[in-house]
Chains A and B, each alone.
Chain A
Amino acid sequence: MVDQVHKEFRRRDLLYSGALWLLSLIIPDPQLHYRREYRFRKRDLFYLLTILLLPLIWSDPHFHHIMVLGGIHGILALGLTLFLGYAGQISLGQAAFFGIGAYTTAVLTTRYGLPSFLAFWASALTAFLFAYLIGRPILKLKGYFLALATLGFGEIFLVMVRESPRLTGGVIGIFDIPFFSFAGFIFDTYLKQYYLIWGVLMGLVLFSKNLIRSKMGRAFLAVAASEDGASAVGIDVSRIKLGVFVIGAAFAGLAGSLFASVMSTANPETFSLNLSVLIVMMVILGGMGNLYGPIAGAIFLTYLIDELSRYQEYSLPIYGVILILLLIFFPDGIGTRLRIRLIYLISYWGRKRRREKVEL
């Protein structure tokens, strides 16, 4: 896009492109998949350093707490972006897999005294198995019907949780889940939890990145673009869909496990439809078809909800309005739209100055 706008090179273009380069480090690249071949870029280094150093520079515990939540949401969004952003399928049931992960950890650690490290993996496995079982019949659906079927699964999950109090504590939920610990090291402060969650998230980002640049990533995009075309080149469409659904669910299960061991509680209110909507919003606002965007979207929306909670009973209506406005003004993601506007504006200023010179 940039080279189409700048027809000839001027000295001030150096300034513009410098500014754009700086901004491009911060704003998620809408066409990240354009560079799927490369492995580790400056951008990745920048993100990595920011994540590692930010909590040390900004040592406000509340900020750490927001980032812990944001990281958990980021894992959820990352799982969904593979399904929604790359494979083009919609799911409103992510909250249920999140809940399955959380309850698995909660039950295993409080009732059976399993170490949280093992419960962590068990959660992913449980979410994986549930997704495998329901994915088979559900994933032949498309569009609204798929959305509705996954939503239905989420509601059934909630009813099950509420109605089996002996296992899940019913509407009250489970309390006093032990903090995550590994080899005697307990993650009991926000800062420690921050590094735990963002560490897990980085691992999952690496996994997803590899997936995306391999043949599987191309198969996801092919399924999203044309199922007929995909099957004609030998892609087993239903297997790919099931695979990506199951991976997303396993990510959600991990996130749920981390959530349970960080917040020490699990109750059904958390895993309602609103959370599923929130996760889809993160992916949409982050931009479909890129990996970092949804994580940025997760941090942004987590921060937004935290800010809004100050307004108490007004927070939900304001939240609804903000969601709709964001959708109307940034339907293809905040980063994408901002970047397009920036490029346009910069080129517009350039042209305007040039024009003024001619007139003088």
Chain B
Amino acid sequence: MFLSVEEIVKHYDGVMALNRISLQVRKGTVKGLMGPNGAGKSTLFHLISGMERPDSGKIFFKKRDITGLQTYEISRLGVGRTFQTLQIFGNMTVVENVLTGMHSRIRGGFLSSGLYLPQIKKSEEIAIKEAKEILELLGLFGRWKWFASQLSYGEQRRLEIARGLAAKPDLLLLDEPAAGLTYPEAKQLAQTLSRLKEAGLTLFLIEHHMGMVMEIADEVAVLNNGELLAEGPPDMVKKDPGVIEAYAPRR
């Protein structure tokens, strides 16, 4: 198994956010995570990326136990992520945002950077070239010298994905990538995501846009009130009575 979450439990002051959740993501697939607001989707992402600690349970990535590791360690192992509330670096230009995404891949420490040794220079030049390629992929190349804070909301969302990709992750966690996007923007995003999938990247995304999930996901899991309601191929999950009840409760 590529990513495997086992029996995860998480409480917040007596509120059960996640109750014994187990799910798997297979390599090279796209997994969608759905559920009403407050179902515990973002909490699950926080736990996987190490921003919070689970109360019990284990998380394995590439057969390695990553429970309790620091966020940056998990990121360096190959788990990238984006945020529901954007966390772009508004004080930097677009290309610098992407270069920051490559932080752990560029060489140099404090001293060698301060002295700007030749190898740093070389590694920076390669990185800038690569950053521009990533920006091209997400359609942000024309904006590369702008400050990230000057971008529109949709562009900022794409920038965050670009930044996540820059670290060359094996698994990318996308927290509502289409939230707040207009219809054409969301459509374009879905295309980009399926291109990434073709390139061999594993995606795990939280999404409310039913259509988008159904289009690109190979498998869907549905959470409700911290419980796993259903898991399986999109068509099967769509017909699951529990899911229908959670999304459109009968009065």
Q: What residues make up the interface of A, taking CB atoms closer than 8 Å to B? A: 33-34, 36-37, 207-208, 210-211, 213-219, 221-222, 224-226, 228-237, 243, 247, 289
Contact of A216 with B113 in the complex, beta carbons under 8 Å: yes
Contact of B72 with A214 in the complex, beta carbons under 8 Å: no
Contact of A211 with B113 in the complex, beta carbons under 8 Å: yes
Interface membership of B71, Cβ < 8 A: yes
> Given A224, A233, A243, which contacts B167 in the complex, CB threshold below 8 Å?
A233
Contact of B49 with A233 in the complex, beta carbons under 8 Å: no
Given contacts A210-B113, A215-B103, A218-B99, contact A232 B83 (CB under 8 A): yes
Looking at A210, A215, A221, A226, which has the most chain B CB atoms within 10 Å of its CB? A215
Q: How many residues of B contact A (CB 8 A)?
A: 40
The interface residues of chain A lying within 8 Å CB-to-CB of B51 are 228, 231-232
15 additional contacts (CB under 8 A) given A215-B100, A233-B75: A207-B114, A211-B113, A211-B114, A213-B116, A214-B114, A215-B103, A215-B106, A218-B99, A221-B89, A222-B89, A226-B88, A226-B89, A232-B49, A233-B103, A233-B163
Give A254 Cβ to nearest chain B Cβ, in Å: 14
Give A200 Cβ to nearest chain B Cβ, in Å: 15
Contact of B115 with A226 in the complex, beta carbons under 8 Å: no
- Nearest to B145 among chain A residues (CB) is A34
Contact of A231 with B106 in the complex, beta carbons under 8 Å: no
Contact of B100 with A210 in the complex, beta carbons under 8 Å: no
- Nearest to A232 among chain B residues (CB) is B81
The interface residues of chain A lying within 8 Å CB-to-CB of B108 are 214-216
Contact of A237 with B92 in the complex, beta carbons under 8 Å: no
> Given B90, B104, B164, which contacts A225 in the complex, CB threshold below 8 Å?
B90
Given contacts A36-B96, A210-B113, A221-B91, contact A231 B120 (CB under 8 A): no
Contact of A247 with B110 in the complex, beta carbons under 8 Å: yes
The interface residues of chain A lying within 8 Å CB-to-CB of B166 are 233
Interface membership of B11, Cβ < 8 A: no
Give B69 Cβ to nearest chain A Cβ, in Å: 11
Contact of B83 with A34 in the complex, beta carbons under 8 Å: no
The interface residues of chain B lying within 8 Å CB-to-CB of A289 are 91
The interface residues of chain A lying within 8 Å CB-to-CB of B106 are 215
Give A242 Cβ to nearest chain B Cβ, in Å: 10
Rounded to whole angstroms, the CA-CA distance of A237 and B70 in the bound complex is 10
CB interface residues, B 42-79, toward A, < 8 Å:
49, 51, 70-72, 75-76
Given contacts A216-B110, A225-B89, contact A232 B75 (CB under 8 A): yes
The interface residues of chain A lying within 8 Å CB-to-CB of B88 are 225-226, 229
Contact of A222 with B92 in the complex, beta carbons under 8 Å: yes
The interface residues of chain B lying within 8 Å CB-to-CB of A210 are 113-116
Give A336 Cβ to nearest chain B Cβ, in Å: 14
The interface residues of chain A lying within 8 Å CB-to-CB of B32 are none
Interface membership of B194, Cβ < 8 A: no
The interface residues of chain A lying within 8 Å CB-to-CB of B91 are 33, 221, 224-225, 289
Rounded to whole angstroms, the CA-CA distance of A226 and B156 in the bound complex is 14
Interface SS of A by simple majority: helix
Contact of B92 with A221 in the complex, beta carbons under 8 Å: yes
Contact of B93 with A34 in the complex, beta carbons under 8 Å: yes
Rounded to whole angstroms, the CA-CA distance of A233 and B104 in the bound complex is 8
Contact of A234 with B104 in the complex, beta carbons under 8 Å: yes
Give B171 Cβ to nearest chain A Cβ, in Å: 13
Given contacts A208-B114, A216-B113, contact A226 B70 (CB under 8 A): no
The interface residues of chain B lying within 8 Å CB-to-CB of A215 are 99-100, 102-103, 106, 108, 113, 124
Q: What residues make up the interface of B, taking CB atoms closer than 8 Å to A? A: 49, 51, 70-72, 75-76, 80-81, 83, 87-93, 96, 99-104, 106, 108-110, 113-116, 120, 124, 128, 147, 163-164, 166-167
Contact of A214 with B116 in the complex, beta carbons under 8 Å: yes
Give B45 Cβ to nearest chain A Cβ, in Å: 10
Contact of A234 with B113 in the complex, beta carbons under 8 Å: no
The interface residues of chain A lying within 8 Å CB-to-CB of B99 are 215, 218
Rounded to whole angstroms, the CA-CA distance of A25 and B72 in the bound complex is 41
Could you list some 21 contacts between A and B, CB below 8 A?
A208-B114, A210-B115, A211-B114, A216-B109, A221-B91, A221-B92, A222-B92, A222-B100, A222-B103, A224-B91, A226-B87, A228-B51, A228-B87, A229-B83, A231-B70, A231-B75, A232-B80, A232-B164, A233-B163, A247-B114, A289-B91
- Nearest to B99 among chain A residues (CB) is A218
The interface residues of chain A lying within 8 Å CB-to-CB of B75 are 231-234
Closest 3 CB pairs of A and B: A229-B87, A214-B113, A234-B104
Give A346 Cβ to nearest chain B Cβ, in Å: 23
Contact of B87 with A232 in the complex, beta carbons under 8 Å: yes
The interface residues of chain A lying within 8 Å CB-to-CB of B83 are 228-229, 232
Rounded to whole angstroms, the CA-CA distance of A33 and B166 in the bound complex is 21
- Nearest to A219 among chain B residues (CB) is B103
Contact of B100 with A214 in the complex, beta carbons under 8 Å: no
Give A222 Cβ to nearest chain B Cβ, in Å: 5
Give B228 Cβ to nearest chain A Cβ, in Å: 25
Contact of A233 with B80 in the complex, beta carbons under 8 Å: yes
The interface residues of chain B lying within 8 Å CB-to-CB of A236 are 70, 72
The interface residues of chain A lying within 8 Å CB-to-CB of B87 are 225-226, 228-229, 232
Rounded to whole angstroms, the CA-CA distance of A214 and B125 in the bound complex is 11
Given contacts A218-B92, A224-B91, A226-B89, contact A235 B115 (CB under 8 A): no
Contact of B103 with A218 in the complex, beta carbons under 8 Å: yes
Looking at A211, A229, A230, A243, which has the most chain B CB atoms within 10 Å of its CB? A229
The interface residues of chain B lying within 8 Å CB-to-CB of A222 are 89, 92, 100, 103
The interface residues of chain A lying within 8 Å CB-to-CB of B124 are 214-215
> Given A218, A221, A243, which contacts B110 in the complex, CB threshold below 8 Å?
A243
